[in-house]
Structure 1
């Protein structure tokens, strides 16, 4: 299994939603907590940490403050502890409907309440002491079976999800978590939902909805009958087994899903490693050997390309490009220049990567011409979820306008044509109207350009040349001059 940051387990961040649909909030002033927020923003995000003493208790740390939730003997609750002490330990008691009850381990009382009247003094569980877990991570990821150490992917031939992949390669390994009515659905790359009997269905029916449970930092998915998803049989078919308790077989990791891309050269052929370690533009199909995992270094903003044969693109003698490197180094880093519908790549020798007459790639050019330009296509996001600094992109209620500050998200469909992307929502295609306002009701597809600027983040350029950003009012607009700040989107 490749290392060097190719497989990053996502740190599970979440919000806690009470019985009145308000989120647990950590305030900077006085380190007070309340349950008044109607949406999931920075102050409402929490991280679950195991008890350092290896006991069954857990710690709840505010992502916003970096401090721990604590409950005193008198029931007073604050979020001011810089280091976890005795009063910071809670026991998570999952309820049959998937909600949590949180009990102070040292004092035996339950945590709950409404608005700014929160305490940890209840001796029994009532609706006020029940919390729903709402994940705050980006919902598109790879799913790794802990027991089998294999990745879940869509098997189109058998019409099921299998946990048998050595690597999460290609679009079939992408899963999208859909939050509905306090439960989660697992959506495949072709927009179907995984039902607990292993079937894939087009609607999120009751047996395709799961409650989340956490165990030792791992995830378990419990169906409506109290059984847990697990890989079953020699093929690893993902379905609910017989277990009513999550053991190792029922546990999963969520891993970051970096962009996977194909590149089309000036000869209208795909860049590939099908014929060996030389990176060449010589194929007519986009299959595994033509797919590359692209990651951007956060400091230098340069990118690496990792191949399905297990090597990074690397600059070698005489300027050639081969997929032979097992470690990231200066020779594996490429600077991307965005040139409208095309991209140019500059290697560590300061020269541009070009396609030679025999199709092989080499960094030997001082200037960019047709042979130095490539069409770069994102292939593992047929379904697109976007999150900006203030929240997710979602249809505004009763309108075709798009909000950028929501705690819930809409899933959009992505198309591609000649270096540009077309985005489709519930009412039609995205289009930019008057004053740069982006709507989702177009009958014809408008072209948008994607620029991958940072690790896990892209900028979207409209036909006007401006970038899409979220304004103060939360509306999606094409009004940013530079691909930075609010014009960068987690995808």
Structure 2
């Protein structure tokens, strides 16, 4: 057991927004604290370390690895290298979805604005209320702790049910959306989960849930005080059975990695339907034609993993098979982005080509038609983007896009032969103006190209060949010729 008395548990990261809409910040100089930042950046990210035995209390660690603490006079600091009694806070969810943080040592509440922060209030007022903003990408997979199954949209029953063994395909994508300080759960077709289990087109009071954190797990409390849980043989998600969060009401939020299909030069999709040999021989891209793109953080090479957990692997004489459960050096491929097409280079330095019989082999020294594939992103019908300055969101009062917002818009992503069209909430399309600014008032769709350059990051290239970036002023512009950090987006 760790010396601080905590049982090992997954750690959630988030920002804390005060009543004035500003984020709690751990300054890099002098370990100072403030609540004045308008967006969620690294300095505003806090890690919660909770006690397994009592999920309502825990420690808050800053991006500098120091712990928030309060003394008997109400002074707050963030200098301690180890958690101690002064840094132990009770996390108290409020009816409106916000939290109050109470010092366990002194019984006082933490709050304030700007650099005037204290932990001396005897009761909860407006200044002592904090909104939780999860730092994880809002599009994720949701796993029920009790069922050990993933939530997915079940088409026959028209419900969100925890019945998936693996989070595969677009049906397993869940988007978390802010609704006045609470969270809504959206299915892959854009509908909201209501507390009675129904899926509805528009958000409302019964689609908004208070978020509670329990030892690295999430609980969602509905407007009537009951918690979301899987119910019945199919695991239909509903809120209405329990007013306390036990194991049945706990969920894990997992990264949703991109899942893609490949259409070869013969017009057919690469598949594992026939066994271990990869062959472009299918007319539809279904489960056997979908592969998870796992990008190595250091090499930036990718593994392509099937729904059964086996990876594309280079075998003797240049053949490509889907074998084994581990990712080895022979399962690492380089992706080359070629506009509407991609090419794959195997570990032998050869490009993957499609033979006349449809089988794949890494035997080519250069890229021609047989070495090109159309890559289609399967599990992102909706797009949420966050850059180094914040989320992408429509600019108030204009048709421009901001890239430094604390909240986000959800955009529709439409595939078009290797390119993508992006449609905004108003039904019009993204396009690049002559100034390079990205606008949302296009009458006709414009091509954008998605390039998966790092784990959890995508670069977006406009039709001019330049990449989208968020500049320090907050504008979203298509004017980057290279790939600096500002062009890589969490999605």
TM-score bucket (shorter structure): over 0.9
Match of 2:249 in 1: 250
Match of 1:457 in 2: 457
Please state how far the C-alpha of 1:131 moved relative to its aligned partner.
Answer: 1.6
Over 3 Å counting, the alpha-carbon distance change for 1:323 and 1:354 in structure 2 is same
Distance 2:408 2:439 in 1: 16
SS in 1 for 2:140: strand
Match of 1:197 in 2: 196
Please state how far the C-alpha of 1:53 moved relative to its aligned partner.
Answer: 9.3
Match of 1:393 in 2: 392
Q: Does 1:488 align with 2:488?
A: yes
Distance 1:87 1:196 in 2: 38
Match of 2:4 in 1: none
Please state how far the C-alpha of 1:24 moved relative to its aligned partner.
Answer: 1.8
SS in 2 for 1:336: strand
Distance 2:405 2:390 in 1: 5
Conservation of the 8 A alpha-carbon contact between 2:55 and 2:215: no
Distance 1:368 1:36 in 2: 52
Match of 2:6 in 1: none
Conservation of the 8 A alpha-carbon contact between 1:10 and 1:255: no
Distance 1:431 1:374 in 2: 26
Q: Describe the superposition over 1:93-141 as per-residue Cα deviations: whole angstroms up to 9, x where unpaired.
A: 2223332221111222221223322211122222222222122221000
Moved more, 140-149 or 120-129: 120-129
Please state how far the C-alpha of 1:324 moved relative to its aligned partner.
Answer: 0.7
Match of 1:430 in 2: 430
Conservation of the 8 A alpha-carbon contact between 2:319 and 2:361: yes
Moved more, 42-51 or 198-207: 42-51
Match of 2:364 in 1: 365
Aligned-residue CA RMSD in angstroms? 1.6
Q: After superposition, where does 1:68-467 map in structure 2 within 5 Å?
A: 68-427=67-426, 428-467=428-467
Distance 2:386 2:206 in 1: 28
Conservation of the 8 A alpha-carbon contact between 1:278 and 1:322: yes
TM normalised by structure 2 equals 0.95
Conservation of the 8 A alpha-carbon contact between 1:270 and 1:290: yes
Distance 1:53 1:310 in 2: 34
Over 3 Å counting, the alpha-carbon distance change for 1:88 and 1:52 in structure 2 is farther
Conservation of the 8 A alpha-carbon contact between 2:52 and 2:215: no
What residue ranges of structure 1 are gaps of 5+ in the alignment? 1-8
SS in 2 for 1:189: coil
Conservation of the 8 A alpha-carbon contact between 2:229 and 2:238: yes
Distance 1:224 1:303 in 2: 43
Conservation of the 8 A alpha-carbon contact between 1:229 and 1:241: yes
Please state how far the C-alpha of 1:80 moved relative to its aligned partner.
Answer: 1.2
Conservation of the 8 A alpha-carbon contact between 1:265 and 1:371: yes
Conservation of the 8 A alpha-carbon contact between 1:41 and 1:407: no
Moved more, 422-431 or 34-43: 34-43
Distance 2:418 2:52 in 1: 50
Over 3 Å counting, the alpha-carbon distance change for 1:37 and 1:432 in structure 2 is same
Please state how far the C-alpha of 1:319 moved relative to its aligned partner.
Answer: 1.1
Please state how far the C-alpha of 1:343 moved relative to its aligned partner.
Answer: 0.7
Distance 2:283 2:208 in 1: 40
TM normalised by structure 1 equals 0.95
Distance 1:174 1:55 in 2: 27
Please state how far the C-alpha of 1:357 moved relative to its aligned partner.
Answer: 1.1
Moved more, 149-158 or 120-129: 120-129
Moved more, 336-345 or 246-255: 336-345
Please state how far the C-alpha of 1:56 moved relative to its aligned partner.
Answer: 5.6
What residue ranges of structure 2 are gaps of 5+ in the alignment? 1-8
Distance 1:409 1:301 in 2: 28
Distance 2:472 2:161 in 1: 43
Please state how far the C-alpha of 1:180 moved relative to its aligned partner.
Answer: 1.6
Number of residue pairs the alignment of both structures matches:
482
Match of 1:5 in 2: none
Moved more, 51-60 or 145-154: 51-60
Please state how far the C-alpha of 1:50 moved relative to its aligned partner.
Answer: 1.9
Over 3 Å counting, the alpha-carbon distance change for 1:200 and 1:467 in structure 2 is same
Distance 1:140 1:175 in 2: 6
Distance 1:104 1:400 in 2: 45
